């Protein structure tokens, strides 16, 4: 286990927060036993007085001060709290003296970050920037250590020295301007335990190892390796997240908007720690909304009902751009799950979100990590778990996406990570590849962001040693250098125009190319909805190729295929549980003859257990026609009360220039698609380019213009004029239906499937 994951796991255990992330199946007896084990996870608690180390003016040597406040003292505007970029603290505990050297987590808040709260009478108060006091770093002299702290209200967080995890939090009634204040420090116990100690209900999660061991940390820079990265797994992803705190959450913090927001940011900072270490993905807050007086809709005890209402609220009232919006609720859901989110819903206005139940910040951080994981297409394949193909490597805590665990989980399993990569390679998560700007802190060399007065910034000394140090010294480019880092920077020089910096991941994607005058790869785009894919068997929607065959594989496994057309014609016209076009009030709806391919999803050679969701009812069986047996298998696979994956998804082709929509097979010309410039009945982008999801033409080589209608025969002139534009080739499109974000794109968001 990597230290970042281990120290969080130890923190969760040591504080006694032992409820399962989204399952309470073990029962009261097991919880009692877990309480005993939780208490054994730390040696003891000590009360200490931490010190902040500040340099002396005469010689620069650091001396200890009891005031821990990291706010900039010379700030002209006292209403806007800015914290120092670097800080050091001394914590003397358990016979050791720890010096914690930390830096602000500049990736936590974007430059457009704002905080909004709604007061009595509906008055809205907005503040841009908010307070940023969230740090990460190391124990001085210990390269294998890790520190995560917040300093808004004393020291609250954790640090790991390679052997033990230490937890620190202020005592009650903390006052930031007191000279000294007691804090509690917990020291976790590092020990091995036999798998025999685990209850039998967790045995299916066990690995073959007989003891719990801590694996060494494999360091990974947040920046790219010093070469062109062509795979989405290698490129750092960024989730632009908005958090909404409901009124009960605010009440949990004594109706203090400031304390509520600080708590929520601490949660996100901890979840970011998990994601950056394990998924090469950062979580960046773009906005926060707090309901100071009352809830804006009724919070149901059923998390799925609350999720649906919350997504309606996002659609109707939230204007901030984000990849996902999550609700932190002070309510306790009457459910086996402490949160809910749409699988594969990231980037979708309608399904990019989740709801999360209140708990200690460590508990909620794991719940958020899990619900965001669902948004990223991670669902923990049930079939692979049952067959043993997927196992959680952490037998003590369990894994984040699992249904069970012994303590709060803190890591993703290998299969979870593979599912995330599969989601990306199938065209999901296109919005994750644009790096947000940093928070509007004072410019500082070494924070990894190129700011006013800087030519480059490769980060800390350690980060520059990994990449960019030969090209960038003290935020100035070295002689002859054009760049220091980035997907289009190699050996301090821009990559040539046209070099692919991000490959197309499928038929519906567009490869991005270097421009020749920048170190950054172009934003990630995909083909506009409507292009054909999978050898003309499918249609592109939302960057993914939609076919019945792919749906069958996604739900039932890779060996499954779509059933013969006869199955659809025979069963879906009958209007029974095993063949229909939906359910009415009291009966199953028969499909019209022309709509049979858009009704109940029928597959061949399926198993008895779907990869995700719950099977409701029986699986359909074979049909015999003229002595020939057809395997016509299907099942109602429920994600929740309203979401049944057992039907052909909207956007799936059902004939030449025909598309499924709401269980009907409709001609493509019945939809009001937006189109790119230069599009006619038989040509897209004048026949010399691809129409992207931004409704812009990406021209073929030697063609330029907004509509790709102008040819350049002189390659040198072309190269000069085309600097900054990508080069890709087109493919067949169904008529001129390259759609965008209108009717059918919305449907994709509603299902949020990950294939």
- C-alpha 567/C-alpha 603 separation (Å) is 9
- Condensed to tens digits (0 to 9), the pLDDT of residues 549-594 reads 999 998 998 889 999 999 999 999 999 998 999 988 889 999 999 9
- C-alpha 599/C-alpha 319 separation (Å) is 35
Residue 635 near residue 610 (C-beta atoms within 8 A): yes
Residue 186 near residue 166 (C-beta atoms within 8 A): yes
- C-alpha 159/C-alpha 215 separation (Å) is 17
Locate 318 and state its tokens.
């939230």
pLDDT score for 439: 56
Question: Quick check: helix, strand or coil at residue 287?
Answer: strand
Of 753, 517, 498, 503, nearest to 650 (Cα)?
753
Locate 718 and state its tokens.
């072309």
pLDDT score for 568: 95
For 65, phi then psi, to 5°, come to -130, 145
Strand ranges of the sheet holding 237-245, from the earlier edge strand across to the other edge: 124-128, 109-118, 281-291, 237-245, 324-329, 353-357, 339-341
DSSP3 helix / strand / coil % (the chain, rounded to 5): 20, 25, 55
Residue 665 near residue 600 (C-beta atoms within 8 A): no
Residue 20 near residue 179 (C-beta atoms within 8 A): no
For 372, phi then psi, to 5°, come to -65, -35
- Condensed to tens digits (0 to 9), the pLDDT of residues 383-442 reads 777 777 888 877 666 788 876 544 556 789 889 999 999 899 888 888 998 877 665 556
- Condensed to tens digits (0 to 9), the pLDDT of residues 359-397 reads 777 778 888 999 999 999 998 777 777 777 888 877 666
pLDDT score for 729: 36
Q: What is the pTM of this model?
A: 0.68
Residue with token string 């952490």: 394
- C-alpha 677/C-alpha 697 separation (Å) is 7
Locate 214 and state its tokens.
């801590």
DSSP tag of 302? S
Residue with token string 């009960």: 248
Residue with token string 């009907």: 664
Locate 10 and state its tokens.
């130890």
Provide the Cα torsion 439, 441, 443, 447; round to 10°. -60
Residue 641 near residue 611 (C-beta atoms within 8 A): no
Q: Cβ–Cβ contacts within 10 Å for residue 308, how many?
A: 19
pLDDT score for 232: 79
Positions in the chain whose pLDDT score sits under 50: 1-41, 76, 190-229, 405-406, 717-718, 721-755
For 391, phi then psi, to 5°, come to -135, 145
Which H or E element spans position 117? Answer: strand 109-118
């Amino acid at each position: 286990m990597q230290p970042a994951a281990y120290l969080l796991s130890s923190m969760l255990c040591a504080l006694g927060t032992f409820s399962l992330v989204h399952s309470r199946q073990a029962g009261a007896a097991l919880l009692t036993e877990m309480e005993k084990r939780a208490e054994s996870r730390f040696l003891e608690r000590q009360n200490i007085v931490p010190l902040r180390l500040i340099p002396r003016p005469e010689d620069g040597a650091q001396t200890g001060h009891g005031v821990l406040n990291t706010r900039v003292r010379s700030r002209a505007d006292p209403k806007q709290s800015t914290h120092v970029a670097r800080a050091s603290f001394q914590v003397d505990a358990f016979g050791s003296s720890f010096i914690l050297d930390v830096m602000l987590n500049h990736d936590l808040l974007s430059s457009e970050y704002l905080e909004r709260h709604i007061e009595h009478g509906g008055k809205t108060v907005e503040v841009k920037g908010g307070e940023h006091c969230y740090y990460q770093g190391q124990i001085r002299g210990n390269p294998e250590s890790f520190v995560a702290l917040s300093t808004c209200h004393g020291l609250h967080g954790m640090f790991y020295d390679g052997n033990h995890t230490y937890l620190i939090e202020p005592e009650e009634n903390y006052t930031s301007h007191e000279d000294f204040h007691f804090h509690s420090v917990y020291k976790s116990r590092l020990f091995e335990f036999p798998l025999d100690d685990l209850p039998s209900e967790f045995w299916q999660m066990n690995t073959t190892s007989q003891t719990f061991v801590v694996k060494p940390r494999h360091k990974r820079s947040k920046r790219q390796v010093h070469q062109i990265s062509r795979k989405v797994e290698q490129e750092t992803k960024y989730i632009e997240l908005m958090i909404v705190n409901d009124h009960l959450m605010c009440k949990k913090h004594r109706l203090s908007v400031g304390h509520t927001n600080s708590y929520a940011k601490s949660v996100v900072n901890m979840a970011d720690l998990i994601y950056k270490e394990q998924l090469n993905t950062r979580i960046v807050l773009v906005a926060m909304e707090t309901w100071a007086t009352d809830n804006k809709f009724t919070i149901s005890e059923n998390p799925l009902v609350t999720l649906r209402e919350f997504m309606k609220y996002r659609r109707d009232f939230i204007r901030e751009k984000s990849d996902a919006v999550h609700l932190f609720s002070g309510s306790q859901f009457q459910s086996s799950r402490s949160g809910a989110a749409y699988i594969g819903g990231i980037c979708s206005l309608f399904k990019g979100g989740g709801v999360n139940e209140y708990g200690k910040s460590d508990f909620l951080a794991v719940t958020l990590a899990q619900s965001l994981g669902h948004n990223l297409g991670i669902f923990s394949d049930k079939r692979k778990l049952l067959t043993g193909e997927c196992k959680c490597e952490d037998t003590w805590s369990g894994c984040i996406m699992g249904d069970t665990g012994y303590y709060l989980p803190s890591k993703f399993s290998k299969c979870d990570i593979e599912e995330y990569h599969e989601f990306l390679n199938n065209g999901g998560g296109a919005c994750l590849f644009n790096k947000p700007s940093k928070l509007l802190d004072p410019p500082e060399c070494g924070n990894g962001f190129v700011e006013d007065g800087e030519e480059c910034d490769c980060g800390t000394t350690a980060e520059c040693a990994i990449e960019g140090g030969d090209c960038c010294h003290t935020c100035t480019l070295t002689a002859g250098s054009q760049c220091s880092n980035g997907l289009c920077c190699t050996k301090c020089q821009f990559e040539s125009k046209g070099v692919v910096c991000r490959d197309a991941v499928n038929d519906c994607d567009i490869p991005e190319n270097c421009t020749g005058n920048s170190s950054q790869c172009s934003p990630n785009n995909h083909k506009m909805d409507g292009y054909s894919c999978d050898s003309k068997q499918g249609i592109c929607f939302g960057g993914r190729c939609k076919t019945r065959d792919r749906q069958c594989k996604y739900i039932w496994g890779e060996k499954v295929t779509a059933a013969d057309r006869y199955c659809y014609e025979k069963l879906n016209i009958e209007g029974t549980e095993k063949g229909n076009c939906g359910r009415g009030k009291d009966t199953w709806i028969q499909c019209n003859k022309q709509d049979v391919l858009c009704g109940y999803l029928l597959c061949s050679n399926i198993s008895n257990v779907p990869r995700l969701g719950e099977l409701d009812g029986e699986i359909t069986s074979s049909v015999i026609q003229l002595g020939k047996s057809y395997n016509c298998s299907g099942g109602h696979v429920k994600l929740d009360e309203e979401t049944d994956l057992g039907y052909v998804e909207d956007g799936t082709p059902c004939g030449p220039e025909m598309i499924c929509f709401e269980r009907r097979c409709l001609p493509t010309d019945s939809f009001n698609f937006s189109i790119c410039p230069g599009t006619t009945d038989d040509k897209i982008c004048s026949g010399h380019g691809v129409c992207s999801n931004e409704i812009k033409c990406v021209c073929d080589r030697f063609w330029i213009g907004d509509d790709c209608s102008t040819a350049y025969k002189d390659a040198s002139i072309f190269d000069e004029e085309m600097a900054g534009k990508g080069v890709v080739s087109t493919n067949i499109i169904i008529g001129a239906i390259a759609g965008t974000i209108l009717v059918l794109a919305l449907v994709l968001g509603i299902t949020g499937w990950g294939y």
